[in-house]
Amino acid sequence: MTSITVANKGTYGFDVTPLTGVGFSKADATAVRSQVEVSLALGDAIRNALTVARESGLEAFNPADNRVLTLPPDLSDADREYLFATIMGHAYSGGPIRLDQWSQAVSRLDHWAAAAASMLPPGAGGGTRNIGGVWYVNGQAWSLSELFTANRVNTLAEIDKMTAQSLNVIAANNEMAKALTNLMERLFKKYNENQWDGEGTQYVSKSWVDSVGITDQGSAVPVGGRNVWTDGSERYPNDLVAALEYAVSFNQLRDLADKYIGPNSLIAKMDGLGSTEPQPSGTGLSKGLQKEDFRAMIDEVETIIGAFATDNQIAQLRNETLFNSRSNLIEGLSTFLRGQQTTGSTLSRNQ
């Protein structure tokens, strides 16, 4: 059977930005989370120190001046040196720092804490952070427009993925329905032409159904009076006839019967009766269904085809909903970006 694949990999037209952190190990995530917590506590301590300094009329003070700055009790020496020297740009053991420099240092500390926290997975205290109009995602700085666009693009990518999967289901269902329809035509031909006898000695086995479901048994020229349509389970070995483009094996048919009809179907009964060999080996001739049961089994195949049609109707309704959601998202994204552009232009003219 051929296969139609709409899309099964890639970004489905959009680049996805997962908001899941940067993949820290459990130990690293714990360490980063602790460092973020002490940095936030240090920021609060410095703000309190600035208030004290202003009330005291100070224009500058040393980081180590504990009369002004009281460090958080759980701030380790290593974290203290790193946060002061590397993040804020002023060594803890250095000289006096002006109040405006302290304000800039606190801002750098806040941004670092936001960026570091955003690298953690949401379940570990991470997620998106916003400081001073800058949004941090996975450690990277984003503007509001960029973040809004990224979130909408992620949603659009998921919708495209779901749509592609749904279209693949529809395509696969259509192929299987076509294969089952072709099989049902062959089953009817067998039912109408088979030499059913009144003694109940003519059977059609699951091996015969399998062969006409996957190979073009009817294209073979009868040899020595043998005929696949009239002589019970008579058929040619599969390697002597051409394979069908839209094929359905008996095992597939049995699985579909279990799904859509139940365990007590005639298809299941035929399966339990066993296999037969290509004739004229003479083995297994009495295995399979007789006329009335065989006719009822054809009705079961028709029921399965109807179930595929119902599944496709549901899938098509789902696709319509997805298409509508996609259109609404694109419209909302376009409106937001136009608004941002208009706001930016207005601010530029007023400067």
Q: Would you place residue 222 in the very low, low, confident or very high pLDDT band (cuts 50, 70, 90)?
A: low
The span from the CA of 226 to the CA of 223, in Å, is: 6
Q: At what angle do helices 144-193 and 206-214 cross, to 10 degrees?
A: 120
Residue-wise pLDDT for 108-133, tens only, equals 999 999 998 888 877 676 777 888 87
Residue-wise pLDDT for 35-59, tens only, equals 999 999 999 999 999 999 999 999 9
% residues pLDDT > 90 (the chain): 44
The span from the CA of 62 to the CA of 55, in Å, is: 16
DSSP string, 328-339: HHHHHHHHHHHH
Residue-wise pLDDT for 273-291, tens only, equals 998 888 665 555 678 999 9
CB distance 242 to 216 below 8 Å:
yes
Residue-wise pLDDT for 284-323, tens only, equals 567 899 999 999 999 999 999 999 888 888 888 888 888 7
Q: Is the dihedral of CA 239, 240, 241, 242 positive or negative?
A: positive
Residue with tokens 């009335």: 292
The span from the CA of 190 to the CA of 230, in Å, is: 7
Weakest-pLDDT range from 18-22, 209-213, 241-245: 18-22
State CA 187 to chain mean position distance: 39
Residue with tokens 């699985």: 255
**Phi and psi at residue 200, to the nearest 5°:** 70, 35
| Helical segments of 142-225, H only | 144-193, 206-214
Q: Which H or E run contains 323? A: helix 291-350
Q: What is the pTM of this model?
A: 0.56
3-state secondary structure of 304: helix
Residue with tokens 């250095």: 94
pLDDT at residue 254 tops 90: yes
The span from the CA of 253 to the CA of 230, in Å, is: 23
**Dihedral angle of Cα 40, 42, 45, 46, to the nearest 10 degrees:** -110
Based on DSSP, count helices (H) and strands (E) in the chain, helices before strands.
8, 5
Q: What is the mean pLDDT of the chain?
A: 83
Who's near 119: CB < 8 A, 6+ residues apart? 21, 22, 24, 32, 126, 138, 139
Instruction: HSE, CB side, 13 Å, CA atoms: give it for residue 78.
Output: 3
C-alpha distances in Å from residue 55, one per residue of 43, 58, 61, 67, 97: 19, 8, 13, 13, 16
